[in-house]
Structure 1
Amino acid sequence: MYHLYKYAVLFVFSVVLGFAFNMFLLPHEVLSGGVTGLAMILGLVSPINAGIWLVIFNVPVFMIGWMRLGKEFIVNSIFSVFITSMSMQYIPVLKVTDDALLSAVFGGVIVGVSIGFIVRFYGSTGGADIIGLVVTQRRDIPLGVLIFGINSIVVFVSGFFFSWELALYTMASIYITGVVVDRVHTRHVKLSLMVVTHKGEELKNELIANLIRGITVMNGYGAYSNHENKVLYTVITRYELALVKSLIKNVDPKAFVSISETAEVIGNFRRS
């Protein structure tokens, strides 16, 4: 059931991505970034559809993703790129508005939301997404920031092919996309979790069984209750928070839980 739901989400947002390209960005020659942006440039200056170029450029990038991110990720990404490519061929290239700035802003938002949900369900749109995800495995850098940095080269390319005014619109669109991606895709956000419970051993075993995280266990003493408790401390990602809260509630509904955002993690922390 989950796999069906996952592919339904990937399908919907891949189509929405194709819609954003053809209805907002391409009509004003406001490009997306990275591999997708280069495909859009060639789609505009050659008789070959941008969706075909998108597939061609993504082959070597997918090979890197296969080695570093795994088979499931690449299968999901291929599915997403294929649906986006098909939707770009069947959705007409039409102007929703004659204002290029409005198209850049709304196109950037829609692209950002689409990419954010595609990545959230362990897929990608290829290109800079895959490169960014490979880098985030080793560095706590927001994915949207990486995508913006990698894609900025398209601004200069589009400036030479079209106009520098459109290049600035492209920069605005790419920046908005990066910001929105980081609002949807929050795996880079780390949370410090502290739990005070009288079922320390049971909760520790449950967390270890469901998370790939180290847990520090300390002895605690309630100043008011005069009862001895266990204090569990660990760092998790925001994606893991819902699961952790559910596990704690099932084991000890009366546990005291403190959750705070962590600025940086140094040491052995599994980021993938």
Structure 2
Amino acid sequence: MSQLIATTVHQFYPALSISNMVGVLYLVFNIPVLVLAWHALGRKFVSYTILSVISCSVALHFIPNIDFSSNVLLNAIFGGIFCASGVALTLRSGASTGGLDVISLVMIRKTNFSFGRISLSFNVMITVIAGIAFGVEKSLYTLISLYTNAKVVDTIYTSKFKIQLTMVIDGDRLDTVRSLVLKHTKHGLTYTEARGGYTDNKKQIIYTVITRDELPQLAALIHQADSSSFITIQNVGEVKGKFLMQ
């Protein structure tokens, strides 16, 4: 939106710098988004996001436009990759780059869509408007960049791609591990009777679905409580039914 408005204004007032306007507009548009994040995602998240937004605004203001290639398609693809890498690494660190990132994070708590899919949907609507205003060809190149961006973000940062976490543990440790799952993830679980193929001992298999961000802490706690526990991990593309995002 900042780019669209800045480019439109520049056509009427060529003396105004597009880069400077984008930086200022980017900061202004993020103010209501940060208010939303404060209530929905927490104070710590907002603090880091504010730092990210200010850094990005300063960078947009001072870093000059550089043409890495005269090929628009290459620029669209690799621009999307580089941008998405920064966004995904920021998200994995517990912050965001503001804007649609915050809106997407709030929405994935209420839906079963991935982060990249939600962000792409919003951006496509803005790009269609830009295509009507500035030409279809540039709009199509932008859609390629946005699609690349969404795929890379979902590859690096898969907070919405659930993980199927199956834990095989000794029967006398069931209550301990069950308490850890319920306490540290707030998700439900299912357990069944089983028998070890090597030892022929009775065991319990626990099945639960958690997010990728919850995995490191939970796995460490389980191994601490039961060093003999065996954990297998599988990606789950979608979950139907109740699933509370933390």
* TM-score between both structures, scaled by the size of structure 2: 0.85
Q: Which has the higher contact order (CA 8 A, sep 6+)?
A: 1
Cα shift at 1:183: 0.8
The equivalent residue for 1:114 is 86
1:185 aligns with 2:157: yes
Q: What value does the CA root-mean-square deviation take over the aligned residues?
A: 2.3
Label 1:154 to 1:163 Cα distance change in 2 as closer, same or farther (>3 A): same
Aligned counterpart in structure 1 of residue 189 of structure 2, from 191, 212, 215: 215
Identity, % of aligned positions = 29
Q: Distance in 2 between matches of 1:249 and 1:261?
A: 21
Q: Which moved more, 1:140-149 or 1:231-240?
A: 231-240
1:265 aligns with 2:239: yes
Q: Aligned partner of 2:138: which letter?
A: L
Q: Is the 8 A contact 1:39 1:54 kept in 2?
A: no
1:183-229 per-position Cα deviation (integer Å, ceiling 9, x unaligned)? 11101111222222122233333344433323334444446534232
Q: Is the 8 A contact 1:207 1:247 kept in 2?
A: no
Q: Distance in 2 between matches of 1:43 and 1:218?
A: 64
Q: Distance in 2 between matches of 1:52 and 1:264?
A: 38
Matches within 5 A, 1:129-144: 129-144=101-116
Q: Aligned partner of 2:185: which letter?
A: L
The equivalent residue for 1:65 is 37
Matches within 5 A, 1:191-206: 191-198=163-170, 199-206=173-180
Matches within 5 A, 1:37-76: 37-38=3-4, 41=7, 44-45=10-11, 47=16, 49=20, 50-76=22-48
1:104-143 per-position Cα deviation (integer Å, ceiling 9, x unaligned)? 1111110111111112222222221121111101112111
* TM-score between both structures, scaled by the size of structure 1: 0.78
The equivalent residue for 1:162 is 134
Could you list the structure 1 runs, at least 4 aligned residues long, displaced by more than 6 angstroms after superposition.
none
The equivalent residue for 1:247 is 221
Task: Identify unmatched segments of 5+ residues in structure 1.
Answer: 1-34
Task: Identify unmatched segments of 5+ residues in structure 2.
Answer: none
How many residues were matched structurally?
Answer: 238
Q: Distance in 2 between matches of 1:67 and 1:37?
A: 28
Q: Distance in 2 between matches of 1:42 and 1:84?
A: 21
Q: Which moved more, 1:172-181 or 1:162-171?
A: 162-171
Q: Which moved more, 1:208-217 or 1:83-92?
A: 208-217
